[in-house]
Structure 1
Amino acid sequence: MLQRTLMVLLLTASAAQALAQNAAEKVPLLRQTKEWITGCDNLRSCHALSAPNGEHGVQYSSLTLHIQRRAGADGPLEIRLDQRGEPAELSALRLDGQPLEPQLLDALVLLPEKKGAQIQVTRYEIADPTRAHQWLERLRNAEELKLAGNDEARVPLSGLSAALLLMDSVQGRVDGVTALWRPGQRPASEVPARPLPAQLRAYPGAPELTEAERTRISAAAVKLAAPGTPNDDEDYVAEPQVEVYPLTAQRALTVVLSDCAAYNCDYLISSWSRSNPPKLEELRRQALPMNNADGSGGANYDPKTGVLTTFYLARGIGDCGESGRWLFDGESFQLSDYRQMPTCNGLSSEDWPRLWNIAPPANR
C-alpha cells in the first residue's frame, strides 16, 4: 500500500512538472518587475533592461544594463552595459559599494561608437559566455551597480531576478542546465526550439503617381479623415496634412495627419484605387499586438522600399512610447518590427524591447 502511494505521488509530481514546463508564457509580452523591464517577441527572443522608476527617488540613469537571449537550446546570452554622456573609467564601477573583481572588469569589451548618434553612448559587451554567467551570478545577489561619485549612473538590481526567471519561463529553460536564474538537471535537449520566422515576398515596387492622381486622391483622403467643416464660432482647427504614395500600378496609399499636438498627431492610413474618381479600398495591414497606440503619433511610407513606419512618443525627446514597421509585399503590409518602452529613461527606440520580429525576404 505504501509503495503504491509513493508511486502515485511520484507520477503526480512528474505530471505537474511536465505541465509546468509546457505551460509557456504567451508571447509577445512586456512586463515591468520593480526596476526592470522584460520584453519577449513572437519568436521568444527576450530582452531585459534596467529601468529606474523613481522607487528610490531616481527616475533617470545614464547607465543601462541590457540582457538579451534568443530562444532555443543554443540561444546565445548577450549582456551589454551602456553609459550615456562622457565615458568613465570602468574601475569606478561599484557593486553595492565594493569594487568589481578584475576578471569581471576585464570581461567588458568596448564596442565601436555608433555613427550618427545624437547622444554619446559608450557601450561595453560581455562576449565570453562563461564571464557573462559570472556577471549574472554576482548581480542577482546585489542591490545596485553604479559609478562611484555619480548618483545618476546606476543600475538598480531590484527586479532582476524576476526578469531572468521570466526569460527562462518564456523560453522553456526553468530547472534546466541553460537556465539563467534557477538552473537544474533538465538537459538542454528539452529546451523548445526557436520558432521559425516567416519569409516575406520581395516588394515589387510601384510606378510614380501623376499630378492628377495625386490631387484627386489627396482630396478624397482629406474628406474621409475630416468630413465636417468647423463652424465659425468653433475654435480654429488646423487643416489636415495629407501624403499620397504609389502602392501598386492600380492602388495608392494615403497618410492623413490631424489634430496635431506638440509631437503626436492622429493619423489615418488608407488605400485607394488610382481610378478617376478614386475609390476607397481595403487596407490589408497586419494588426499590432498587445495594447498599442495605433492611430496616434505619426506615420510614414517609403515607396522605394515598401516600408511603412508608425510611432507614438510619450514625450518630446522620443525616449519612450512605441514604434512599428511593416513591409509591403505587393498585396498586404506584414508587421516586421514592433517595439514599446513604457518608462522614459533616455533610451533611443533601437534599444527599446522588441515585441515582434520577422525575417526579411530571402532575395533582399
Structure 2
Amino acid sequence: MLRPVLLALLAGSSAQAFAQPASERVPLLRDIKEWVVGCDNLRNCHALSAPSGANEEDYSSLTLHIWHKAGPQGYLRLRFDHRGETSDLSTLQLDGQPLGNDLTQALQVELDDQGGDPHVQSFGVLDDAAARRWLQRLRDGQRLQLPGDAGAHVSLSGLSASLLLMDAVQGRVDNVTALARPGKGAASAVPARLPMPLLRPFPGAPALTAEEQQALVAEALKGETAQEDSPPPEASAGALTASQAMTVLSYDCAAYNCEYEVVRRARQAPYAQTALQLEPLPLDGAALQGSVGYDPATGTLSYFYKQRGLGDCGAGAVWLFDGKAFQLSEFHMMSRCTGVAYGDWPSLWTTAPAP
C-alpha cells in the first residue's frame, strides 16, 4: 500500500495544475488529465502520456515523452516507447487519419534508452524544428493510435495544458521558443537555467573488518524479532569514515516493500549514534522506504519505493556522503502506474560532481 505521505503528495495534483502564479516553483510534479509533468530544480521539464484510468483497458503499450531543457538554448526532444511486438510507427494515426510522411520521416530508432530491453522499442524526434511540427499537429488532435494494436494509443487530452505549464515554468509564454503559446519574444529573453548544485566528493573510508561488520550487524539487530507472516529482520553495515559506520536494518517486509531503520553510528562499542544529516527530499517526499541500500565503496545511500510490484510507479532517490553529511544527488517520482521504467520517470533533482 502506498505510504500516506507519498499518497498525499500524489493525490489531487491535477486540480492544482495552474493554482500557482506564472513563476512556478520547482521542483514540481503534476497530473494533468492523461499526462504527467515533472520539472526539476533547474527548470528542465519532462511530460509523458500516462492514462489516468485504473482499469486494464486503460493501459497503453505506447508512451510519448516530451523533454524541454531550460534556458534560451534548451533543446526539445520527443520519444515514443512501444512495449510489445515489433512495430512500425510510420503507420501511426491521429484521430483515425494517417499522420503523413512529413512527420513520421523524422522518427529515428533509438537502441539504448531502455537498457537493451528487447520488449521496448524507442523512436525519437531529435530535430527541434521537426519536434515542434509534431507538437503543433498533435495539439489539434484527440488520440494517437497504432493500427492493428488496440492497446497502443496515446490520449492527447491534457497535452496543451501540459505544454503550457512547461512554458510557464521556463519563462517561455509568448516567446518564440514556447511550445503552447508562442509569441514574438526573443529567445534571448528566456531566463537562464537555474544553477546546478555541485556535489562534494566522497572522501572514502577504510573498509570495515569482518569483526567490525559482524558486531555492527548484531547491534542493529539487537531486540528485533520476526513478525508473524513477515521474513525475519536483516541488517547490513558499511564504513562511512575511519570512526563511523552506517547500519541498514530491514523489517516488516510486505510483498515488495520493507520498513527500514538507517543509523549512523560509531564503528566501535558502545556504537554511539550520530545524526544522519540527510538532505531532505523536495515536495515533502518520504525518504528511505521500500528498498534501501548503502554502498560503502561509493558513499551512496539510495531508496526505491514501489507503488506496485511491477515497479513502474513510486519514488526513488540517491544521496552522496561528503564525509560529514549526505547530499541529495538525484530524485525521481512517477505518480501513475503505466509501465514506464524508473529510468524514464520524471527527474525532479539534478546535480553534477564538483570540478
Q: Same fold (TM over 0.5)?
A: yes
The runs of 5 or more residues in structure 2 that have no matched partner are: 1-19
1:340 is matched by which residue type in structure 2? M
- Secondary structure class of the residue paired with 1:104: helix
Determine the C-alpha separation between the residues in 1 that align with 2:303 and 2:136.
39
Aligned to 2:269: 276
Determine the C-alpha separation between the residues in 2 that align with 1:257 and 1:169.
42
Q: CA deviation at 1:78?
A: 0.9
1:331 is matched by which residue type in structure 2? K
1:44 is matched by which residue type in structure 2? R
Determine the C-alpha separation between the residues in 1 that align with 2:24 and 2:114.
37
Determine the C-alpha separation between the residues in 2 that align with 1:278 and 1:90.
60
Determine the C-alpha separation between the residues in 1 that align with 2:308 and 2:321.
29
Which one of 240, 254, 262 corresponds to residue 233 of structure 2?
A: 240
Is 1:86 equivalent to 2:85 in the alignment? yes
1:199 is matched by which residue type in structure 2? L
Aligned to 2:60: 61
Aligned to 2:13: none
1:293 is matched by which residue type in structure 2? A
Return closer, same or farther for 1:52/1:23 CA change in 2, 3 Å cut-off.
Answer: closer
Determine the C-alpha separation between the residues in 2 that align with 1:167 and 1:191.
13
Aligned to 2:171: 172
Is 1:182 equivalent to 2:181 in the alignment? yes
The runs of 5 or more residues in structure 1 that have no matched partner are: 1-20
Q: Which moved more, 1:159-168 or 1:211-220?
A: 211-220
Instruction: Trace 1:291-302 onto structure 2 (pairs within 5 A).
Output: 291-302=284-295
Determine the C-alpha separation between the residues in 2 that align with 1:45 and 1:91.
29
Aligned to 1:221: 220
1:334 is matched by which residue type in structure 2? Q
Aligned to 2:245: 252
Larger radius of gyration: 1
Q: Which moved more, 1:293-302 or 1:172-181?
A: 293-302
Aligned to 1:350: 343
CA contact (8 A) 1:113 1:121 kept: no
- Secondary structure class of the residue paired with 2:271: coil
Aligned to 1:18: none
- Secondary structure class of the residue paired with 1:155: strand
TM-score (normalised: structure 1): 0.87
2:251 is matched by which residue type in structure 1? S
2:149 is matched by which residue type in structure 1? N
Determine the C-alpha separation between the residues in 1 that align with 2:77 and 2:47.
11
CA contact (8 A) 1:113 1:122 kept: no
Q: CA deviation at 1:229?
A: 5.9
Q: Which moved more, 1:294-303 or 1:141-150?
A: 294-303
Instruction: Trace 1:82-161 onto structure 2 (pairs within 5 A).
Output: 82-114=81-113, 116-118=115-117, 120-161=119-160
CA contact (8 A) 2:230 2:254 kept: no
Q: CA deviation at 1:240?
A: 1.6
Q: CA deviation at 1:304?
A: 1.3
2:182 is matched by which residue type in structure 1? P
1:137 is matched by which residue type in structure 2? Q
Return closer, same or farther for 1:291/1:212 CA change in 2, 3 Å cut-off.
Answer: same
Is 1:261 equivalent to 2:260 in the alignment? no
> For each residue in 1:228-282, what CA deviation from the matched residue of structure 2 results, as whole angstroms up to 9, or x when unmatched?
768xxx8466432111011111110111111000000011211011122211011
Return closer, same or farther for 1:33/1:42 CA change in 2, 3 Å cut-off.
Answer: same
Q: CA deviation at 1:204?
A: 1.6
Q: How many residues of Structure 1 are paired with residues of Structure 2 in the alignment?
A: 336
Aligned to 1:304: 297
CA contact (8 A) 1:203 1:305 kept: yes
Instruction: Trace 1:66-81 onto structure 2 (pairs within 5 A).
Output: 66-81=65-80
Identity of aligned residues (%): 49
Instruction: Trace 1:33-48 onto structure 2 (pairs within 5 A).
Output: 33-48=32-47
1:349 is matched by which residue type in structure 2? Y
